[in-house]
Amino acid sequence: MPTCNCETNGCRLEGGVQLPLRTVRDHAHVDQVNRYERARIASEEALRDQEEAIATQLASMTLAVRGQSFAARARLFLFILFL
Ligand SMILES: [Zn+2]
């Protein structure tokens, strides 16, 4: 029987478990789905952090250019344009 080293069912923690091939494949599939899900969540969190950082910078720039020169307002416009 093949050895399973999956994380989800704890086979790796036990140093590998000998299981029927079909079970090893099932465990590997569950591992893959979990890895994909973790990667998806991590990328969503990274994107959200980035959006918050941009929103904060935009807000501070908008406040900073109030009553400022045309050039300062143009820089803000260009910043928004290239977001
Ligand atoms: Zn397993």
Task: For residue 17, give every residue at least 6 positions away whose Cβ sits within 8 Å of its Cβ, in sequence order, or none.
Answer: 3, 4, 11
Question: What digits encode the pLDDT tens for the residues 53-69?
Answer: 999 988 888 888 888 88
Ligand 1 centre to CA of 34 (Å) is 13
For residue range 71-80, list pLDDT tens digits in order: 888 888 888 8
Distance from Cα 65 to the centre of ligand 1, integer Å: 59
Ligand 1: distance of its center to the CA of 39 in Å? Answer: 20
**Count of the separate structural domains present in the chain:** 1
Measured in Å, residue 43 CA sits from the centre of ligand 1 at 26
Global model pTM greater than 0.75: no
Query: What radius of gyration, in Å, describes the C-alpha atoms of the chain?
Result: 25
Range of the domain at 8: 3-81
